[in-house]
Structure 1
Amino acid sequence: MAAEAGSATKPAKDRGRWWRGFTGSLAAGLTVLAVGVLVVGLVCLFTGAPGPGAASLVGHPLAAVLALAAQRVADRRVGLPAAGGGVAVVLFAAATAAVFWLG
């Protein structure tokens, strides 16, 4: 009987797992991108080469921090707050791509 009760609740948890995995990947990707932009900025600072501008050096880490905070909400809550946190992560990633990479 315990196995039946456990299997009845499992689909409810699996339903949002792919979404949290997707948004978690986006948040982690933004974090890696922010670290990469900062490293390139430091290399360009020391070599005298032109590098990313101030907006990029501030915007990428800011977007990563906001996405990680939203992902934390998505991971720790259920229902509408969790979905909202995931949507926020997607919006932060899309805004970062649109502002800094697409033109």
Structure 2
Amino acid sequence: MASPDTEELATVPLPTPRPDDRTTPHQVITDPAAPSPDAPTEAAAPTETGEQADATSPEAVEQVEPAKPAKPRGRWWRGFTGSLAAGLTVLAVGVLVVAGVCLYTDAPGPGPVLLIGHPIAAVLALLAQRVADRRNGLPAAGAGIAVVLFVVSALTLFWLT
């Protein structure tokens, strides 16, 4: 008996795809106010029981197109303040990691003000960003401004002094 490596494998043709019974071809409607060619004009289509429904009955009324959701506003502002809050959080974690390495190697490292201030500023910025993400209007704008102020104050107090 030959091994599978030396035998030639037979190829099996793939079945041809059949159209799905549940799908129907799309109909392009150029004017939503114009009736479709399949829609009944004055008389409504017969219901399941075989009787005619009037044109105002729920069975005869079709939804033409769903209402479009409103465009979200302030997406760039929320993205910007979210990036600032995430950056401040990464910076706070970095300061804590450097402090741990310095503690392990007996090297001078960041002082207690940096070790306490950075995580507090990061937590405050993340909380303000959460408010900015979940609210709309003036509360969202105020929370975004608070994120910017937390980031600027942390960088000014801890890195420029």
Distance 1:2 1:28 in 2: 40
Higher relative contact order (Cα pairs below 8 Å, separated by 6+ residues): 1
Q: Whose helix proportion is higher, 1 or 2?
A: 1
Tell me, yes or no, if structure 1 residue 31 matches structure 2 residue 89. Answer: yes
Larger radius of gyration: 2
| 1:101 maps onto 2:159 in alignment | yes
**Given the two structures, how large is their TM-score scaled by the length of structure 2?**
0.58
Q: Percent identity?
A: 71
User: Within 2, Cα distance between the matches of 1:58 and 1:33?
Assistant: 13
Shift of 1:32: 0.2
- Deviations along 1:2-32, whole A, 9 cap, x unmatched? 46x426x21xx1x300000000000000000
In structure 2, the residue corresponding to 1:6 is in which secondary structure? Answer: coil
Partner secondary structure for residue 102 of structure 2: helix
Match of 1:6 in 2: 68
RMSD: 1.3
2: CA distance, partners of 1:2 / 1:78: 27
Residue of structure 2 in register with 1:57 after alignment: 115
TM-score by length of 1: 0.90
Give unpaired runs (5+ residues) of structure 1.
Answer: none
Q: Is there any run of 5+ residues in structure 2 with no aligned partner, and where? A: 1-63
The 5 A counterparts of 1:77-96 are 77-96=135-154
